[in-house]
């Protein structure tokens, strides 16, 4: 979610710590994470859902993931820590997104919500069709979701940052030399990620700085344009294309480089970061750990020049320790837990009260969609009543079982 309170990172951390002390452990939730993007696909959203889910399981919550089928991977699967994943038999339509249908996903979403006794639906990625449809269906059924509602009071909006596995992304023990500067770009090579900017930025940076070379990790439709640029400017020896990089191998790519355009993992490795000033990016890192630029080639080149000048003053170990304090998954899970608690405690807003926020025409269209969705829900209840859907028995996650065994052994040890 976006931060609309204007707080700094340290202020936000202090506010969440105070809320944690006030709220205590709170209630245990049954959470459905929904997104078109999840493993075996690689990316930031996929990693965020996985790590957040694992930490929420450790806190005692029930967490289920719902995504579309990937190739032959369909049905119910279990991943590390007992995390249950529904790969619904819905094929991706474009860029791993399912075809927008509005209503056709309702039967299977309803079944999952009832079977798993879900209380909170958490949608991920604004571009995910499955995410938005699941949130709409959940709202029709009276479930709470954590999607940001426009027009609400800033006091009700929380900014929960992303996190990084600092144990996995550590700096190189050796001080990097500035004789040769390597810039790493690890991202899906799509328009939304700014891949088109690279086509104009890379040749100019290579012209201005003879000791700079690029490593580009990632795949996507814009990869062809970058390869064409490399051929056009004869930069084969200065621009290396790695293709898709599994998340487990990202550190091995980052650790030997000077600075990077992959934000949190790079900073955890002690690398200076360059990024565009779009969305929530300016709020991710402190100003001395990132160089921001407008999404224009000229400003990106300026930012790269500034970053090169800053390199001699960067201490990778100090940067890593700062990241370790600021961005831990356990902290993100606890902050998210607070958002769930507040969402469950907030009063239900009537549909008629929400319609004016959507605008004159969009509000009427949205009202029509919700009416149809409600009638479909009534039809589904008639054809397959809730009482006829078998509820899944709760199975304690691996973490909880291991902790229980440890407690039992400790008690037995004291009794000996």
Three-state DSSP state, 59: coil
From residue 333, alpha-carbon distances to 39, 74, 285 in Å are 20, 28, 19
Structure tokens at 111: 């079944």
Residue 176 binned pLDDT confidence (cut-offs 50, 70, 90): low
CA 26/CA 121 separation, integer angstroms: 18
354 pLDDT higher than 80: no
Q: What DSSP character marks residue 227? A: H
* Residue boundaries of the structural domains of the chain: 24-162+339-388, 181-327
3-state per-residue secondary structure call for 171-203: CCCCCCCCCCEEEEEECCCCHHHCHHHHHHHHH
The CA R_g of the chain, rounded to the nearest whole Å, is 24
How high is the pLDDT of residue 396? Answer: 67
3-state per-residue secondary structure call for 333-344: HHHHHHHHHHHH
CATH of domain 24-162+339-388: 3.40.50.20
Q: pTM of this prediction?
A: 0.72
Up-side HSE of residue 121: CA atoms within 13 Å toward CB? 29
How high is the pLDDT of residue 85? Answer: 96
402 pLDDT higher than 60: no
The answer to whether the beta carbons of residues 381 and 111 sit under 8 Å apart is no
CA 121/CA 226 separation, integer angstroms: 39
Three-state DSSP state, 165: coil
Q: Each residue of 207-217: pLDDT tens digit?
A: 999 999 999 98
**Placement of tokens 């929530």 in the chain:** 280
Q: What DSSP character marks residue 286? A: -
CA 394/CA 413 separation, integer angstroms: 30
194 pLDDT higher than 60: yes
Q: Each residue of 103-142: pLDDT tens digit?
A: 999 999 999 999 999 999 999 988 899 999 998 899 888 7
Structure tokens at 143: 């479930």
Neighbours of 284 (CB within 10 A): 20
94 pLDDT higher than 60: yes
Candidate from 33-47, 133-147, 296-310 with smallest mean pLDDT: 133-147
CA 406 to chain centroid: 33
CATH of domain 181-327: 3.40.50.2000
Length of the chain equals: 416
> What angle is formed at CA 188 by the lines to CA 325 and CA 51, rounded to 5 degrees?
35
- Phi and psi at residue 239, to the nearest 5°: -130, 110
CA 90/CA 34 separation, integer angstroms: 13
Q: Each residue of 133-152: pLDDT tens digit?
A: 998 899 888 776 665 444 55
3 pLDDT higher than 50: no
The strand ranges marked E within 6-160 are 30-34, 62-68, 75-79, 83-88, 92-94, 97-98, 120-123, 144-145
> What angle is formed at CA 275 by the lines to CA 270 and CA 281, rounded to 5 degrees?
95
Three-state DSSP state, 231: helix
Do domains 24-162+339-388 and 181-327 share one topology? The answer is yes
Residue 408 binned pLDDT confidence (cut-offs 50, 70, 90): very low
The answer to whether the beta carbons of residues 293 and 276 sit under 8 Å apart is yes
């Amino acid at each position: 979610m976006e931060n609309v309170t204007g707080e700094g990172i340290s202020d936000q951390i202090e506010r969440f710590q105070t809320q944690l002390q006030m709220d205590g452990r709170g209630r245990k939730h049954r959470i459905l994470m929904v997104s078109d993007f999840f493993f075996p696909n690689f990316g930031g959203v996929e990693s965020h859902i996985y790590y957040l889910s694992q930490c929420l399981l450790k806190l005692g919550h029930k967490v289920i993931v719902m995504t579309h089928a990937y190739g032959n991977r369909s049905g119910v699967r279990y991943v590390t820590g007992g995390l249950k994943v529904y790969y619904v038999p819905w094929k991706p339509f474009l860029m791993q997104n399912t075809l927008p249908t509005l209503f056709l996903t309702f039967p299977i979403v309803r079944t999952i919500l009832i079977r798993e006794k879900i209380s909170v639906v958490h949608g991920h990625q604004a571009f995910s069709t499955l995410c938005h449809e699941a949130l709409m269906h959940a709202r029709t059924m009276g479930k709470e979701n954590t999607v940001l509602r426009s027009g609400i009071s800033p006091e009700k909006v929380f900014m929960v940052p992303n996190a990084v596995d600092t144990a996995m992304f550590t700096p190189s023990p050796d001080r990097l030399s500035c004789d040769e500067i390597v810039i790493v770009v690890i991202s899906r090579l799509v328009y939304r990620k700014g891949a088109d900017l690279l086509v104009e930025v890379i040749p100019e940076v290579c012209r201005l700085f003879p000791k700079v070379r690029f490593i580009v990790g990632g795949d996507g439709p814009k990869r062809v344009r970058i390869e064409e640029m490399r051929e056009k400017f004869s930069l084969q020896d200065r621009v290396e294309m790695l293709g898709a990089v599994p998340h487990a191998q990202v550190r091995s790519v980052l650790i030997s480089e000077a600075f990077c355009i992959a934000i949190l993992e790079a900073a955890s490795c002690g690398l200076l970061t360059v990024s565009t000033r779009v969305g929530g990016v300016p709020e991710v890192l402190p100003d001395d750990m990132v160089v921001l630029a407008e999404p224009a080639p000229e400003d990106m080149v300026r930012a790269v020049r500034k970053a090169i000048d800053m390199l001699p003053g960067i201490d990778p170990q100090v940067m890593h320790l700062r990241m370790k304090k600021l961005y831990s998954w356990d902290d993100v899970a606890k902050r998210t837990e607070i958002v769930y608690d507040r969402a469950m405690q907030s009063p239900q807003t009537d549909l008629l009260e929400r319609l004016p926020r959507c605008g004159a025409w969009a509000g009427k269209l949205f009202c029509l969609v919700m009416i149809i969705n409600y009638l479909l829900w009534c039809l589904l209840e008639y054809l397959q009543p809730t009482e006829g859907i078998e509820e899944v028995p709760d199975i304690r996650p691996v973490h909880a079982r291991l902790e229980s065994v440890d407690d039992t052994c400790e008690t037995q040890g004291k009794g000996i």
